[in-house]
Chains A and B, each alone.
Chain A
Amino acid sequence: MLDTLLSPKEKLKIKIAARDLSFFYGDHQALFANNLEIPENRITAVIGPSGCGKSTHLRIYNRIFELYRDQRAEGEVLIDGVNILDRNVDVLELRRKVGMIFQRPTPFPMSVFDNVAYGMRLHFKLRKSEIAERVEGALRGASLWEEVKDKLNGSGIALSGGQQQRLCIARTIAAEPDILLLDEPTSAIDPVATLKIEELLLSLRKRFTIVIVTHNMQQASRISDFTAFFYKGRIVEHDTTTRIFTNPSNKKTEEYITGRFG
């Protein structure tokens, strides 16, 4: 499907493919047969008005919704060709591979160093020196190293909001995921810190497949390669970001991006 949108020389590998994906909160259906393909090593933005199901959609990719008893998903999500909704898929490994960053920064109640080291200690057997090396690497990767290198033993909660969010990104990438899911990562953060995180995401694009839910249309146009527009639980339009923002094919999309509702 996506292939048709791209110029021929840009042959992208599909990393995530949702097929006929529906979602229910108890009896209430929130997503209706979503089909979406997300290319590897690109940033895909998911936009749409509040309550359209974009966060819900994202939360299926790492099966975090399973924490809640009355929520269930139907359909398929293929990651590297494997349906991750299959019961046999190991959810711990899935969540390592598919890292998630939340709306509000969620530093763990431990030191900056341990925050980053925690996830990798869970999943890897490492020597002490390796851990220190990788923590530094992850913090550099999240462009946070220079700011926190002197307070690695300080509490992660003591950092500023933007730093906390980048700490969460560092923590996530330290676990060596393939995919980063970001659920409105900058909505609780001031504009300067937001810009920093956007730059960071652009630099991470080479290493990860990134899906970002955002309310902020400028943000979507600034950083994403592809954009999917959600409306009332359905994917109305999915295209390259340039086309969505300059020449949307659907009327609803046009109304939304020009700010007529939402």
Chain B
Amino acid sequence: MFELFRKKENLRDRAFMILTLLCAFLPLAAAIGFLILLGGNSAEAFRTFGFGFLVSTQWDPVQELYGALPAISGTLVTTLIALGIAAPLGFISALFLVNAPEWLAYPLSQALDLLAAIPSIIYGMWGLFVLAPVMQECIQPFLADTLGLGKVPFFGEDYNGFGFLTAGLILALMVLPYICAVMRDVFRMTPGPLREAAYGIGCTSWEVASDIVLRHGLRGILGAVFIGLGRALGETMAVLFVIGGIAELPHSLFGSGTTIAATLANNFNEADGLLRSVLFALGLILMLLSLSVQAVAQLYLRNMDRKRGEK
């Protein structure tokens, strides 16, 4: 009787284990499924264009000639602009939030975190109706004419409020809360004695942050940057409205272009045949980009988790 009871319990335990583990495997299965489906559906595109697809700049729906380079390079450019702004901004903001008195730091960090709660479509809308006009009337004229940056290559003298810089700014704002949150963790995890030793030798608080804390938490900080990178890479709605949406290589900061995600969003619903396969291929490229970025981020952050585990 007792034996039987035990067996039943064991059976239930086993069922529990199998069920939960099956569920645990789902993300892995999904990731593999993503790769298979995207790969399978993009086969036609790669058969048609070969790997020249990756470096071709053509985008001609009439003649059905497509290349991925404008979208890929546009994605990289917006991401780089976003990180170029968000990473240092996140670092110094985290510095302030960690050192400021609690009554000030708490509401400010909550407000900053709320940036992550705003849906991306709202960023896109705000970018289109609010930021783009401001960019056109104030910021871009200031940068191009007043500072004379228009003469510098990569900026461009023509501006209309849209383009890579605007998209990059919005993206920077979107990824800032994520970067800042991880950096705040990194700062808080710096051992007290190390901080005291640095102050003890006569450092200013900036010197402590830039020479000691930055070095000590370098991996965590890089991980934070990569998390932001992953987010910026695939963001769709915030970029879609302000990037301009033309399949051309990026030629200037103020110029228009496109990203992989924006290309997908703009064309997918109407596409069929070869174009759809091309879009799947772009999706596959985006997936691989994101995968590699995540892999690097994990590599860097795992070390931090381990350190946290020791505490």
| B-binding residues in A (CB < 8 A) | 62, 64, 67, 69, 92-96, 99-100, 102-104, 106, 108-110, 118-119, 122-123, 168, 171-172, 175
In the complex, 17 of the A-B residue pairs with CB atoms within 8 angstroms, ordered by the A residue number, are: A62-B200, A64-B196, A69-B101, A92-B202, A92-B204, A96-B202, A99-B200, A100-B197, A102-B197, A102-B200, A104-B193, A106-B197, A108-B198, A109-B216, A118-B211, A119-B202, A168-B197
Least CB separation from A174: chain B residue: B201
Does B212 lie at the interface of the complex (its beta carbon under 8 Å from any beta carbon of A)?
yes
**Inter-chain contacts of A102 with B (CB < 8 A):** 193, 196-197, 200
Given contact pairs A103-B193, A106-B193, A95 touches B207 in the complex (Cβ within 8 A)? no
Cα distance A64–B195 when bound, in Å? 10
Task: Report the bound CA distance from A8 to B204 in whole Å.
Answer: 44
B 175-212 to A, binary, CB cutoff 8 A, 1 in contact else 0: 00000000000000001011111111111100100011
Are B207 and A122 in contact, CB atoms less than 8 angstroms apart? Answer: yes
Residues B215 and A175 in contact, CB atoms below 8 Å apart: no
Task: State in angstroms the CA–CA spacing of A180 and B203 once bound together.
Answer: 17
Instruction: Check B199 against A95 for contact (C-beta < 8 Å).
Output: yes
A100-B200, A175-B202 given; 20 more Cβ-contact pairs under 8 Å: A92-B204, A95-B200, A95-B201, A96-B201, A99-B200, A100-B196, A102-B193, A102-B197, A102-B200, A103-B193, A106-B196, A118-B201, A119-B201, A122-B201, A122-B202, A122-B207, A171-B201, A172-B200, A172-B201, A175-B201
Closest A residue to B196 by beta carbon equals A64
Q: Which residues of A contact B211 (CB under 8 A)?
A: 108, 118
Tell whether A99 pairs with B201 under 8 Å between CB atoms, given A109-B216, A122-B207.
Answer: yes
The CB with the most chain A CB atoms within 10 A, among B191, B200, B211, B212, is that of: B200
Residues of chain A within 8 A (CB-CB) of B195 are: 67
Contacts of A99 in B (CB 8 A): 200-201
Interchain nearest-CB distance for B201 vs A (Å):
4
Q: Are B202 and A93 in contact, with the CB atoms below 8 A? A: yes
Q: Which residues of A contact B197 (CB under 8 A)?
A: 100, 102, 106, 108, 168
Contact code string B205-237 (vs A, CB < 8 Å = 1, else 0): 001000110011010000000000000000000
Measured in the bound complex, the distance between the Cα atoms of B199 and A118 in whole Å is 12
Q: Which 9 A-B pairs have the closest CB atoms?
A: A106-B197, A95-B202, A100-B200, A96-B202, A109-B215, A119-B201, A109-B216, A92-B202, A106-B193
